[in-house]
Amino acid sequence: MLVPMAIIMVLFYFMILRPQKNKDQSFRAMIENLKEKDRIVTVGGIHGVVTNVQRDRDEVTIRVDESTGTKIRIGTSAVARVVTDDETNTK
């Protein structure tokens, strides 16, 4: 009875816990490397360009409109991804 339970626990670790840990580490690395002029997409789907990063307050200021220069402040946890040059060229 103990051996099947141990096998289930090992499978649970490798299929669920370990991938989630790697995903969290890559998200933290992305937030730590966030800098001005990076293009980002928020979890709400807002596209913008980073104008200021305040690491002590966990805030990012992004410019969402090029013509009027409209800016908004968001929490760093609201950043979904950083858009790379390859992604912008394919559209």
Q: Are strands 71-75 and 39-42 parallel, antiparallel or unpaired?
A: unpaired
- What count of other Cβ atoms lies within 10 Å of the Cβ of residue 26? 10
Give the strands of the sheet with 71-75, arranged side by side.
71-75, 59-63, 47-54, 39-42, 79-83
Tell me the pTM. 0.74
- Residue 89, pLDDT score: 67
Q: At the top level of CATH, which class does the domain 2-89 belong to?
A: mainly beta
Looking at the predicted structure, is the pLDDT value of residue 9 above 80? yes
Of residues 1 and 46, more confidently modeled: 46
pLDDT, tens only, 26-85 = 999 999 999 999 999 999 999 999 999 999 999 999 999 999 999 999 999 999 999 987
Confidence of residue 88 (pLDDT cuts 50, 70, 90): low
Torsion sign across C-alpha atoms 82, 88, 90, 91: positive
**What pLDDT does residue 87 have?**
67
Q: Give the count of beta carbons closer than 10 Å to the beta carbon of residue 39.
A: 16
